[in-house]
């Protein structure tokens, strides 16, 4: 038995000794990345099939995004919103142009953008819809994941996200995901908003039945309810459309983006809406020290440009469709279902075959980094810059692991 300590062991030990144990990562320590490839501290090369939960859609260290970041770092990085900077305006104008909305409120992490949307819609509910103060209700879905703040975990139905973290923020109702009739039944005169992931990511890559988004969108319009789409993971090309809502031609009232908006370089998120909603905010109502900072804005603008100019959305669509089809052809006694949209793909492992984790560990040994989600699901969501040849190699490896 070997007693030598590898560099990997040292880093794993440090993470264990000096941080909270709030994650259970695969035992790989990465030190470099380029495109869809990453290298660990032992020099081993891996394909990144997680893309940091879709925050690296443009690939690791995309040259154009890195150049924009470096150039901006040589000018100015942070002004706070107490002053203006020359990067935020051009970035938000482009973001509005790409999304088709009038205004965008920049934040940093996804959870902050979700919180921003919740505050916006509650205030809109009181000021515009006329709901009595303190009575606003927001409908959310079972299996949701919208982040980790105390308010957001208040409306999770995952015990682990909530246990030990109460008391919780009131004002939320959970309805089954994908069930428009259940949504309609939960509506009350005090319902101000509906918060939904058009495809659930952390919930196990769940695609709702066709028509669900359109139907709930219509119900929201009918009842004066703000439709909030959390596209932090599903947006910016991941599902083969710029936004997953586009699959049903649904235009939300509030669009929430994050992750790939920062191109894997820097946290950039935003809540996006028309003036009717955005104008409820007045000076002092809401803010963030780093939100809209010039470094993040420069990175965000370059990240959008790369997605569009490199046709990554179309690539996600065609490659994803083909790859999903090939995965479905793999004959495996362990696979219950292969599902997804674009390059947001889940392979669900049968309960009797045990959890998905050992399959991910086997893939790691073969140089493919994928992470299980919701215990039974292997998620495949590589950077959208991935090549078909690379995915062909993945198929061979996945087939062997699944058989």
Residues with a known catalytic role: 145, 230, 259
Give me the count of residues in the chain.
Answer: 403
Task: Note whether 235 binds ligand PLP by CB under 6 A.
Answer: no
Rounded Cα–Cα distance for residues 110 and 87 (Å): 21
According to DSSP, residue 209 is labeled P
Among 106, 143, 147, 383, binds ligand PLP (CB under 6 A): 147
Rounded Cα–Cα distance for residues 388 and 142 (Å): 35
Question: Which residue is it, tokens 């920049």?
Answer: 106
Q: How many CA atoms lie within 13 A of 173 on its CB side?
A: 18
Give the CB-nearest residue to ligand PLP. 110
Distance in Å, CB of 256 to ligand PLP, minimum? 7
Among positions 187-216, residues that touch ligand PLP (CB under 6 A) are: 197, 201-202
Part of the chain binding ligand PLP (CB under 6 A), chosen from 66-74, 226-234, 270-278, 321-329: 226-234
H-helix or E-strand spanning residue 329: helix 312-329
Task: Note whether 145 binds ligand PLP by CB under 6 A.
Answer: yes
Part of the chain binding ligand PLP (CB under 6 A), chosen from 4-12, 228-236, 317-325, 344-352: 228-236
Residue 360 neighbours by CB under 8 Å, 6+ apart? 26, 370, 371, 372, 378
88/114 with CB nearer ligand PLP = 114
Distance in Å, CB of 148 to ligand PLP, minimum? 7
Rounded Cα–Cα distance for residues 5 and 12 (Å): 11
Stretch 292-331: interaction string toward ligand PLP, x if CB under 6 A:
----------------------------------------
Q: How far is CA 221 from CA 192, 226, 251, in A?
A: 11, 8, 11
Q: Angle at which helices 312-329 and 294-309 pack, to 10 degrees?
A: 60
Task: Note whether 227 binds ligand PLP by CB under 6 A.
Answer: no
Rounded Cα–Cα distance for residues 236 and 297 (Å): 16
Task: Note whether 340 binds ligand PLP by CB under 6 A.
Answer: no
Distance in Å, CB of 114 to ligand PLP, minimum? 6
Among positions 44-63, residues that touch ligand PLP (CB under 6 A) are: 53
Among 230, 253, 317, 348, binds ligand PLP (CB under 6 A): 230
258/346 with CB nearer ligand PLP = 258
Task: Note whether 233 binds ligand PLP by CB under 6 A.
Answer: yes
Among 62, 146, 324, 339, binds ligand PLP (CB under 6 A): 146
Rounded Cα–Cα distance for residues 308 and 236 (Å): 9
Among positions 109-138, residues that touch ligand PLP (CB under 6 A) are: 109-111, 114
Contact 125, 131 (CB under 8 A): yes
Query: Which token pair is 192?
Result: 């101000």
Interface residue list for ligand PLP (CB under 6 A): 53, 109-111, 114, 145-147, 197, 201-202, 230, 232-233, 258-259
């Amino acid at each position: 038995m070997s007693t030598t300590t590898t560099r990997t062991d040292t880093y794993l030990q440090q993470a264990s000794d000096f941080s909270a144990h709030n994650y259970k990562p695969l035992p790989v320590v990465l030190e470099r990345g380029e495109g869809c490839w990453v290298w660990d501290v032992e020099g081993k090369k891996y394909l990144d099939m997680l893309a940091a939960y879709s925050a690296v859609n443009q690939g690791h260290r995309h040259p154009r995004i890195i150049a924009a970041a470096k150039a901006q770092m040589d000018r100015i990085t942070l002004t706070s919103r107490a002053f203006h900077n020359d990067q935020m305006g051009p970035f938000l104008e482009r973001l509005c142009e790409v999304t088709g909305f009038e205004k965008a409120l920049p934040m940093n992490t996804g959870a902050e953008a979700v919180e921003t949307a919740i505050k916006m819609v509650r205030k809109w509910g009181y000021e515009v819809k006329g709901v009595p103060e303190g009575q606003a209700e927001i409908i959310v879905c079972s299996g949701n994941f919208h982040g980790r703040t105390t308010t957001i975990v208040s409306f999770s139905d995952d015990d682990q996200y909530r246990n030990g973290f109460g008391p919780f923020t009131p004002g939320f109702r959970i309805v089954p995901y994908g069930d428009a009739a259940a949504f309609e039944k939960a509506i009350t005169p005090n319902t101000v908003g509906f918060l939904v992931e058009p495809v659930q990511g952390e919930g196990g890559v769940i695609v709702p039945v066709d028509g669900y988004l359109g139907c709930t969108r219509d119900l929201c319009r009918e009842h004066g309810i703000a439709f909030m789409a959390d596209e932090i993971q599903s947006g910016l090309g991941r599902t083969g459309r710029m936004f997953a809502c586009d699959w049903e031609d649904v235009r939300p009232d509030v669009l929430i983006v994050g992750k790939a908006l920062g191109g894997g370089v820097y946290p950039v998120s935003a809540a996006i809406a028309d003036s009717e909603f955005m104008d409820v905010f007045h000076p002092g109502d809401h803010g963030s020290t780093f939100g809209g900072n010039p470094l993040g804005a420069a990175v965000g603008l370059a990240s959008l440009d790369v997605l569009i100019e490199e046709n990554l959305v179309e690539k996600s669509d065609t490659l994803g469709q083909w790859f999903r089809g090939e995965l479905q052809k793999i004959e495996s006694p362990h696979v219950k279902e292969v599902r997804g949209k674009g390059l947001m793909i889940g392979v669900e492992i049968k309960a009797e075959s045990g959890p998905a984790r050992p399959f991910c560990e086997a893939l790691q040994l073969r140089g493919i980094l994928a992470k299980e989600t919701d215990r039974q699901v292997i998620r495949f969501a590589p950077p959208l810059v991935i090549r078909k040849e690379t995915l062909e190699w993945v198929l061979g490896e996945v087939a062997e692991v699944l058989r």
